[in-house]
C-alpha cells in the first residue's frame, strides 16, 4: 500500500518560502509523489489559505502565479464537497482548531493519511490522528 500524506497550509508555506528543514521534507515527498511512491493531498481550503497569505504579503499577482505552480505539482487537490464540509465542521466542534485546519485534519482521516504540519494548534492533537511534525 502506498503511503498517503496531507499537506496543510503551514507545510505548503514552509516549502514555498524555503524554510528548512520542513521545505526539504515537503520537496522530498513531492519527488516521491512524482515517482508514484506516495500520494499527496491538499484541501482546497488550505490551498486558499496559502493563496491569501501570499497575496497579503506579496500581492495578488504573485499569489496567482504561485497557485498556478502548485497546481502543476503532484498534489491531489480535494474539493470542499458537502461531505468534506460536514466532516471538517464535526472536527471543529470537538477541537480548538481553525476551520481550515479542520479540513486538513478531516482529509487525513478520510484518506487514511498522515498530516504534515508544524501548526501548533494541530500538533496539540497528536494522538487524535496520524501526523508528522515539521520544523522551520
Verdict on whether the full-model pTM lies above 0.85: yes
pLDDT at 1 exceeding the cut of 60 = no
Q: What per-residue confidence (pLDDT) applies to 62? A: 95
Residue for grid cell 499577482: 61
Reference 12, options 75, 89, 58, 64; nearest CA is 75
CATH code of residue 26: 3.40.50.1010
pLDDT at 108 exceeding the cut of 90 = yes
Reference 115, options 78, 81, 90; nearest CA is 78
In this predicted model, what pLDDT tens digit does every residue of 26-76 receive, in sequence order?
999 999 999 999 999 999 999 999 999 999 999 999 999 999 999 999 999
Q: Which domain holds residue 67?
A: 3-133
Q: What per-residue confidence (pLDDT) applies to 2? A: 76
Give the number of domains in the chain.
1
Amino acid at each position: 500500500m502506498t503511503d498517503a500524506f496531507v499537506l496543510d497550509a503551514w507545510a505548503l508555506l514552509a516549502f514555498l518560502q524555503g524554510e528548512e528543514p520542513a521545505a526539504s521534507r515537503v520537496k522530498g515527498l513531492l519527488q516521491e509523489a512524482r515517482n508514484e511512491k506516495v500520494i499527496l493531498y491538499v484541501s482546497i481550503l488550505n490551498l486558499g489559505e496559502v493563496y491569501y497569505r501570499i497575496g497579503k504579503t506579496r500581492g495578488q499577482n504573485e499569489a496567482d502565479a504561485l497557485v498556478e505552480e502548485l497546481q502543476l505539482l503532484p498534489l491531489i487537490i480535494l474539493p470542499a464537497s458537502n461531505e468534506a464540509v460536514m466532516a471538517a465542521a464535526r472536527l471543529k466542534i470537538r477541537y480548538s482548531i481553525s476551520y481550515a485546519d479542520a479540513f486538513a485534519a478531516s482529509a487525513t482521516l478520510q484518506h487514511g493519511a498522515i498530516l504534515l504540519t508544524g501548526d501548533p494548534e494541530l500538533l496539540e492533537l497528536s494522538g487524535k490522528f496520524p501526523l508528522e511534525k515539521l520544523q522551520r
